[in-house]
Amino acid sequence: MQELDTAGLGSVRVTRQSDTVVILEKDLATEQMVLAMGPQHPSTHGVLKLECLTDGEVITQAEPYLGYLHRCFEKCCENVDYPAVVPYTDRLDYLAGMNSEFAYAITVEKLLDIEIPRRVEFIRVIVAELNRIASHLVAIGTYGIDLGAFTPFLFCFRDREIILGLLEWASGARMLYNYIWVGGLAYDVPADFLKRVKEFVDYFRPKTVELCELLTKNEIFVKRTLGIGIMPADVAINYGWSGPMLRGSGVKWDLRRNDPYSIYPELDFKVPVPDGKDSVIGDCLSRHLVRAWEMDESLKIIEQCIDKMPSAEGFNSRSAIPKRIRPKAGEVYGRAENPRGELGFYIESDGKSTKPLRCKARSSCFVNLSAMKDLSMGQLIPDLVAIIGSIDIVLGEVDR
């Protein structure tokens, strides 16, 4: 990407087209003002602080400050047994606890090298995809709020509520599940669960269409997001972006496809990437669209899983769980596709202890957010809000 020297230009407002920087406005410089956005700002999605240097409404530089929600997850992990890390992983990305647990579980299982019953895998995928939908609903809904549309947010939360109810029914908790354990599941799903999930899929399909009509297709929404915060593919990769962010930049990269885990290779689903017709590739609208499309794909995955689900006869969800989890000495880097991107766990075991020697969570939001400084240069404050919203950060995962 072309670096832009703003020193001699005074105030500039720029936009990016593929990999060149285009200057929209210049020589309108006023006195620069430091604007502290957050940590109690309504649209920083939690406790992020952005220290912006502004020139009028144009942001010349934005420096993110993190750590307001830091609780040293990694130190906590070093002090508890392997299974007891799972509830902590819920609290990383608290909007997608199942996915975080899933990533941790497959990482430790890779280190332990154990075989998982097939039904467990199917249930894992169902709950993870349900949680992905719930998470994307929050992302889309709050994005609406960031841009001033309040109603889609509540429609999203109405449907998310049903998903949380389903997951509560399965796992016993609404957000912090501790359901996917290393080597299995806490419980099998209730008897009618799959039927109800199927009904949910039927119920939810028209709702996504309505949401699309209300928000995604709205001209004001499109105008607010189209061509804003463009991130070219190569820069996105260099920044380590993953998940819908990377796909929004047009890179067809989904860990469920490209580094398959669990039963994803058996399932038929698309990896949606923007084609540049409805949106500029890499802009906020692309990222939003990818999330909206992914919800449909997740619904497809759930339907397939329900159809292919092995019977519950003689099934014990804890049958493969080792009595005492003490992996052989070694290191592993395992990862899963979270709603926000690649959640990786680096785990080092000394082979003696039942506690991990080192457990590092590679948080997708943390990495995605690191591009903030670059993305926000020369944008207007409303666009900055749109960009933060499209990155869809969860501070629980950023600060860990």
Query: How many of the chain's residues bind another protein (CB under 8 A)?
Result: 97
List the interface residues with another protein, window 199-258 (CB under 8 A): 199-200, 202-203, 210, 213-215, 217-221, 223-224, 234-235, 237-240, 251-253, 258
Residue 213 CB, nearest approach to another protein (Å): 5
Report the side by side order of strands in the sheet with 358-362: 330-338, 341-349, 358-362
Do strands 358-362 and 184-185 pair parallel, antiparallel, or not at all (unpaired)?
unpaired
For residue 128, which of 180, 168, 176 has the smallest C-alpha distance?
180
Q: Which is nearer to another protein, 315 or 346 (CB)?
A: 346
List 137, 186, 245, 273, residue binding another protein (CB under 8 A)? 186
Residue 143 CB, nearest approach to another protein (Å): 10
DSSP 339-371: TTEEEEEEEEE-SS-SS-SEEEEE-HHHHHHTT
Residue 311 CB, nearest approach to another protein (Å): 21
Residue 226 CB, nearest approach to another protein (Å): 11
In the shown chain, the binding pattern of residues 323 to 352 toward another protein, with x for contact by CB under 8 A and - for none, equals: -------xxxx-x------x-x-x-x----
Residue 251 CB, nearest approach to another protein (Å): 6
Q: Which is nearer to another protein, 46 or 240 (CB)?
A: 240
Q: Which is nearer to another protein, 235 or 301 (CB)?
A: 235
337 secondary structure, DSSP code: E
Residues 100 and 173: their CA atoms lie apart, in Å, by 15
CB 283 within 8 A of CB 225: yes
Q: Which is nearer to another protein, 128 or 156 (CB)?
A: 156
Alpha helices in 97-243 (DSSP H): 97-112, 118-146, 151-171, 193-211, 219-225, 233-238
Residues 231 and 212: their CA atoms lie apart, in Å, by 24
Of the listed pieces 2-10, 129-137, 151-159, 301-309, which binds another protein according to CB under 8 A?
151-159
Report the 3 state secondary structure along 109-123: HHHHCCCCCHHHHHH
Q: Which is nearer to another protein, 175 or 309 (CB)?
A: 175
For residue 156, which of 178, 133, 174 has the smallest C-alpha distance?
133
Return the SS3 of 276. Answer: coil
Q: Which is nearer to another protein, 81 or 300 (CB)?
A: 81
Instruction: Confirm or reject binding of residue 178 to another protein (CB under 8 A).
Output: yes
Residues 120 and 127: their CA atoms lie apart, in Å, by 11
Residue 168 CB, nearest approach to another protein (Å): 6
Residues 255 and 333: their CA atoms lie apart, in Å, by 14
Q: Which is nearer to another protein, 303 or 348 (CB)?
A: 348
Q: Which is nearer to another protein, 294 or 399 (CB)?
A: 399
Residue 296 CB, nearest approach to another protein (Å): 19
List the interface residues with another protein, window 6-25 (CB under 8 A): none
CB 54 within 8 A of CB 381: yes
Of the listed pieces 124-132, 295-303, 308-316, 364-372, which binds another protein according to CB under 8 A?
364-372
Instruction: Confirm or reject binding of residue 354 to another protein (CB under 8 A).
Output: no
In the shown chain, the binding pattern of residues 111 to 130 toward another protein, with x for contact by CB under 8 A and - for none, equals: x-------------------
List the interface residues with another protein, window 258-277 (CB under 8 A): 258
Residue 324 CB, nearest approach to another protein (Å): 12
CB burial of residue 276 (10 Å; 0-12, 13-18, 19+):
exposed
Residue 96 CB, nearest approach to another protein (Å): 17
List 11, 12, 15, 43, residue binding another protein (CB under 8 A)? 43
CB 282 within 8 A of CB 248: yes
Instruction: Confirm or reject binding of residue 66 to another protein (CB under 8 A).
Output: yes
Residue 287: partners with Cβ closer than 8 Å, 6 or more residues away: 244, 245, 248, 390, 391, 392
Residues 28 and 303: their CA atoms lie apart, in Å, by 55
Q: Which is nearer to another protein, 223 or 308 (CB)?
A: 223
List 147, 180, 292, 320, residue binding another protein (CB under 8 A)? 147
End-to-end CA distance of the chain: 30
172 secondary structure, DSSP code: S
Q: Which is nearer to another protein, 18 or 40 (CB)?
A: 40
